[in-house]
Amino acid sequence: MELLIAYSTQSQLLRGIFVGVVLFSHASVQSAFVHSENSAEFQAAQSSPESMAVSRVSVSPPLTDESGSNQEIKALTANATQLLQDQYGFCISKRERDGLDEIFGFHNSDINLLLDCDALTGGTTTERFCVMSELRLYFENLAAVDTPPPNLNCNATGWDQACEAGWAGRVSQVVELDSEIVPSRLLDPLPCCAGFFCPRGLSCMIPCPLGAYCPLATLNHTTNMCEPYGYQVMQNSNLYAGQCGGADKWADVTSAINIFCPAGHFCPTPIENRICSVGHFCRLGSTDQDKCSHLTTCQSENLQSQNLQGVGGLILAGLLILLVVIYTCSDWLMDLRHRRKAYARDVAARQVLEHISKYKLFKVTAKRQATKLTRKLTRTISRDQRDLSIKEELQENQPTSSTPSSSRRLSANLSPKFQDVLKLMTGYSKKAMTLSTSPRVSLQLPTLVIPTKDTYSQRFAYAYGQIEKERALGHRGTSPDSEQEDQPDDEVIRNRFGIELTFSELSMVLKSSGKKILCNVAGKLSPGRITAIMGPSGAGKTTFLNGLAGKSTNTRTTGQVFVNGKPGPMHSYKRIIGFVPQDDIVHGSLTVEENLWFSANYRLPVNMPIYERVLVVERIIQELGLGGIRDSLVGTVEKRGVSGGQRKRVNVGLELAIEPSLLILDEPTSGLDSTSSRLVLQALRREAMEGVNVILVVHQPSYGLFKMFDDVMFLAKGGYTVYLGPVVEVEAYFSGLGLIVPERINPPDYYMDALEGIPVSSSPQLDLRTMPIMWMRHKGYPIPNDMVDLAGDVESTPTENPSLVHPESSRFSATFFQQACQELYQKILMTWDEIKTALSRVDNLSGRQTPGFFRQLRTILHRVAKQRFREVKLHIQDYVILLIAGGCLGVLSNMDDTNLGSEGYHFTIIALALLIMIASLRTFSADKIQFWRESASGVNRLAFYLAKDMADIFNVVMKPLIYLSMFYFLSNPRSSFLSNYVVTLVLVYCVTGLAYILAILLEPAPAQLCAVFVPVIASLIVSSKKTRFLPTLSYFSYARYALEAYVLANAERYEGVWVITRCGLLASQGYRLENWSKCLLILFGYGVVARIVAILSLLFSHRNRQK
């Protein structure tokens, strides 16, 4: 009753509800009386007062004919039902509106109840029913049912026994049940019949609903209370002193719990109370006993609920077994796949080795036969001393060349005997002599026949055969200074699309500070050559590379960059440009080979056969010396993998796998020993032999590595060029400036010390600040304004781009407000530039067609699936935490019937949102840096996002099941497991999308803080007291709709006698019973909108790192 008093404003709604449901009961009761055998005698008995007195102790014969009054009641019931549906349907379920689930449920089988009432009232049962006006009075005062308002029958001047709680009187004249006028009914007051309740102050009867137990009250002489209803008997009446009536009221469970069928019992009708039998349980207000599950223990009677902990334990055990199987099988399946591939590689390697060994044996045999034949010929010529004419003939016809024509002239001038010997030698050993002497010996290597190249073994055999052929050519692993008489043919080395970079007066200035970081750099970088960029720290080496690759951000660039002599954006060629960053950005949860394969699959030409891709990957593995660790995980910070040097080589191999035309590397040899550095440079040398333009930044290389470069570029501090040209000419150029390298000193180290400002002993008179000017004069470039004083040449033509002049003094001479506005303006400009870059599209001028959206989606999804399999331990930890949380909250949850279990779901929403959001942050936070690199290289960002989201579907489906396996069976709500699972599923889907936004926009630490803050605030907005703007704000909280869905799913199971409690709770919260599906759709819509926002965030945020 306290709940309804607190929400008295809802009384008008509840009044209408009860008008409808009572009219339902009237129609049922009247239909029961229709089966009387003599309706005329029954009506005569009702009209006679004498017969009324007798009827108190005798039973009237049942009626058989359906009277006109019953038709009128049915019509009124139909009208009330329509009114209930139109005006007060917020707490009535669809099944109740359709009549499938009844509220009162009087049937012909309940005729005993009506007969007993008719016997008690002397056949005046229908005359004691409340009419419409009286029902309105009751329901309008439902919030204060114990203090009824005065009416015609019960007021301050007249209060009869019929006005007492549990008593009713009959009308003095015939009144229609739909009458809007309160009739006079003070005649013949009697106790309220069993199965009905009579409110205090109304003097009429209302049927009890299903799930209620309404027997006649009995007087407790000790307390003078009428049990079980708890009201007192009338004290000022001598005629009815000490007499109790029937049930007095029907309200919410907190104020009228005595009318509810007790827990452990079930009440098929309002006058029957049965104990639950063994193997069944009965909740409060039950009309039937529910059978216990086969997995529960219901070995006693009078059970209020079934113990579902055993079911939860079995489900938990099943889930744990499933997780263990997945964990075990995932490692086993991946290990099996690796073993199959390793076996295929071994088979292919053996085939190639057998083929090569046969060739080598043939080569050695042919060489021996040729040597043996030569010796035999020599002995023959020596023994023929007697024929001097032959010797003279040989001396006169000595061949001067090895051409076929000279051989034929020699043979014509020889004697017949010697001609036979020469023919024998030529015919037998011509091929062997060629094999033993030709520098192109490898071109005679027999071709390995691969008929289909469809299986692993055939693909690896083809790849290893090609690699062995390249080795036989002698070009792999050789230094650039080694002389080769012949270059390999195009069958082995394919020339790629060439990119020649030409740049003039290239300058860069930071937008934020105006600091110049690159100044008037000019030159040309040609394909097929390796160019090293060297200089002290802060000289702008990385900035120069970013400018060439089109990756410069937060800078203003002037000058021109030409690609093959044509101006144009570098992004048009990004499909054939490889950029190796200084940091080793690789996927730590993938193996070395998987990292290389992923890079090859999404960036190599779409029409390249699979066996050619196998060749590309296997070549890189062998070139970089990664064969021994190909199946090893690269490793992460938490889980150690390969060494730092091996990780660096994998980082370089990712870009080699795409067969680029322009390869830019930022310090690829830092952290490597000399052997690993040479392996990397040898791989780059082979790329250059295929026509690749290789540009790399290095720090103090050894002299051997320095000689492996074709060109070198030295930058001084401030971004000025000191030298750009061939490596073989660098010492001569600096010697001409007076910078002579002492003996036993590495020239690169010596030049770097000089550029760093360290005094050098060889040329103390040289002003190192003038070295950029000397280079400009050497190449004929104009000298900038800020270097005119150092130049000391008035004839020099100073040049400077005015747009790049941002004196620091001009910035700090402004006021604080002006400076703040200027920096804010620069921030806005940079953000706008990022948006324009994200929306801009450039033409593909590379001539390469890489895989499209769906193929990239499949490739990325395959990669993410592998990563998920290797992170099974981490996911199992998440599942165990969910199980513990579900168990704790299931025990602590307050699934009390007085609040329909609504308070038990608040902490569920908070806990689920916290655990799911924090775990979902790993989806994008873990490899955000890898995504930036892949996005810059051309991976489809939408395909990347969808692959991640699709891989998380398994967790979205499994986590609600794991949580509810403990929470549901420990809290034991009335709602079904399926309805709880559906609500939890859409809740998890919603908060997962929110976690995506946080993971993409924020760094890991702030994202985790927000993942805790958002669920707590969203839940507190809903559960706190509604003041000021909180009610409006709660409509934007996902927690409101999740809580409403949980409550509605539970409230729908409270039927019959629970309708008032259900309606009171829903009215207080502003819920509608029909909104369950709507809440699910809103939660799902939140999840979809969150994912759309996450996609947009992925597209437009951090654009400077995706270039």
Q: Per residue in 952-986, pLDDT tens?
A: 999 999 899 889 988 888 888 888 889 999 999 99
pLDDT at 789 (0 to 100): 62
pLDDT band at 99 (very low <50, low <70, confident <90, very high): low
Q: Report the distance separating Cα 406 and Cα 1100, nearest Å.
A: 75
C-beta separation of 76 from 1052 below 8 A: no
How many of the other CB atoms lie within 10 Å of CB of 79?
13
pLDDT at 1082 (0 to 100): 94
pLDDT at 146 (0 to 100): 78
- Identify any residues that bridge with 664 across adjacent strands, giving them in sequence order: 579, 695
pLDDT at 63 (0 to 100): 38
pLDDT at 384 (0 to 100): 56
Q: Report the distance separating Cα 141 and Cα 865, nearest Å.
A: 63
C-beta separation of 999 from 921 below 8 A: yes
- pTM as predicted: 0.78
Q: Is 785 helix (H, G, I), strand (E, B) or coil?
A: helix
87 vs 531: which has the higher pLDDT: 531
The strand pair at 693-697 and 530-534 is best described as parallel
The reply to whether omega before 228 is within 30° of 0 (cis) is: yes
Q: Report the distance separating Cα 670 and Cα 667, nearest Å.
A: 6
pLDDT at 505 (0 to 100): 84
Q: Is 274 helix (H, G, I), strand (E, B) or coil?
A: strand
Task: Please report which helix (H) or strand (E) contains residue 530, including its range.
Answer: strand 530-534
- Identify any residues that bridge with 697 across adjacent strands, giving them in sequence order: 533, 666
Nearest-5° Cα angle at 422, 420 to 426: 120
- What's the pLDDT tens digit per position in 449-497? 444 556 777 887 888 888 877 776 654 444 333 333 344 444 444 567 8
- Could you identify the residue written with the tokens 């010929």? 377
User: DSSP character for 36?
Assistant: B
- Identify any residues that bridge with 558 across adjacent strands, giving them in sequence order: 507
pLDDT at 833 (0 to 100): 67
Task: Please report which helix (H) or strand (E) contains residue 137, including its range.
Answer: helix 132-140
**Average model confidence (pLDDT) across the chain:** 76
Choosing among 3.40.50.300, 2.170.150.70, 1.20.120.160, 3.30.830.10, the CATH entry for 501-586+660-766 is: 3.40.50.300
Task: Report the length, in residues, of the chain.
Answer: 1107
Mean pLDDT is highest, among 755-759, 989-993, 1005-1009, for 989-993
pLDDT at 1011 (0 to 100): 92
pLDDT at 816 (0 to 100): 67
Q: What average pLDDT does this structure show over 707-721?
A: 90
- What's the pLDDT tens digit per position in 133-179? 887 787 777 777 778 888 888 888 888 888 888 888 888 888 877 78
- What's the pLDDT tens digit per position in 337-355? 667 777 777 776 777 777 6
pLDDT at 280 (0 to 100): 86
pLDDT at 651 (0 to 100): 92
Which strands make up the sheet holding 225-227, listed edge to edge?
218-220, 225-227, 231-232
Distance of CA 3 to the CA centre of its chain: 43
Domain residue ranges of the chain, discontinuous segments joined by +: 2-260, 310-396+404-444, 501-586+660-766, 855-1105
- What's the pLDDT tens digit per position in 235-288? 655 566 678 888 888 888 888 888 888 888 898 888 888 888 888 888 888 888
DSSP per residue, 458-501? HHHHHHHHHHHHHHHHT-TT--TTS--SSPPPTTTS-------E
- What's the pLDDT tens digit per position in 777-836? 888 887 777 666 666 543 444 444 444 444 444 444 556 676 677 767 767 776 776 666
Residue 928 Cα distances to 551, 859, 996, angstroms: 18, 18, 12
C-beta separation of 697 from 667 below 8 A: yes
Instruction: Give the closest residue to 905 by CA, choosing from 1014, 1017, 983.
Output: 983
pLDDT at 312 (0 to 100): 66
Q: Is a pLDDT exceeding 60 seen at residue 390?
A: no
| Torsion angle in degrees (nearest 10) through CA of 34, 35, 36, 40 | 40
- Which residue type sits at 463? A
Distance of CA 1018 to the CA centre of its chain: 21
Q: Report the distance separating Cα 483 and Cα 1, nearest Å.
A: 103
CB-count burial class (<10 Å; 0-12, 13-18, 19+) for 127: buried
- What's the pLDDT tens digit per position in 37-92? 333 333 333 333 333 333 333 333 333 333 333 444 454 444 445 545 555 677 87
Q: Report the distance separating Cα 102 and Cα 110, nearest Å.
A: 14
pLDDT at 860 (0 to 100): 93
C-beta separation of 547 from 557 below 8 A: yes
pLDDT at 330 (0 to 100): 64
User: DSSP character for 109?
Assistant: G
pLDDT at 993 (0 to 100): 94
Instruction: Give the closest residue to 1019 by CA, choosing from 1042, 1052, 985.
Output: 1042
Q: Report the distance separating Cα 1071 and Cα 1082, nearest Å.
A: 14
Q: Where are the alpha helices (DSSP H) in 710-815?
A: 730-736, 747-756, 771-779, 788-791, 808-812
Q: Report the distance separating Cα 836 and Cα 841, nearest Å.
A: 10
Nearest-5° Cα angle at 316, 315 to 318: 65
Residue 918 Cα distances to 464, 906, 1008, 1014, angstroms: 47, 19, 6, 11
Instruction: List the end-to-end C-alpha distance of the chain, in Å, as a whole number.
Output: 67
Task: Please report which helix (H) or strand (E) contains residue 1064, including its range.
Answer: helix 1059-1069
380 vs 675: which has the higher pLDDT: 675
pLDDT at 284 (0 to 100): 87
Nearest-5° Cα angle at 885, 884 to 886: 90
Q: What average pLDDT does this structure show over 661-673?
A: 88
Q: Is a pLDDT exceeding 60 seen at residue 725?
A: yes
Residue 946 Cα distances to 838, 850, 973, 1101, 1105, angstroms: 19, 19, 37, 17, 21
699 phi-psi bin (left φ>0, alpha ψ -120 to 50, beta other): beta
- What's the pLDDT tens digit per position in 994-1028? 999 999 999 888 999 999 999 999 888 887 766 66
CA atoms in the 13 A half-sphere facing the CB of 376? 13
Q: Report the distance separating Cα 948 and Cα 942, nearest Å.
A: 10
- What's the pLDDT tens digit per position in 275-330? 888 888 888 888 888 888 776 767 777 787 777 666 667 777 777 777 777 666 66
Q: Report the distance separating Cα 618 and Cα 615, nearest Å.
A: 5
pLDDT at 758 (0 to 100): 76
Residue 43 Cα distances to 52, 68, 112, 127, 1003, angstroms: 11, 13, 20, 12, 86
Q: Is a pLDDT exceeding 80 seen at residue 722?
A: yes
- Could you identify the residue written with the tokens 């009171």? 1064
Instruction: Give the closest residue to 580 by CA, choosing from 660, 676, 652.
Output: 652
> Buried (b) or exposed (e) across 741-768, using 16+ Cβ within 10 A?
beeeeebbebbbebbeeeebeebeebeb
Torsion angles phi and psi, residue 280, rounded to 5? -135, 165
pLDDT band at 753 (very low <50, low <70, confident <90, very high): confident
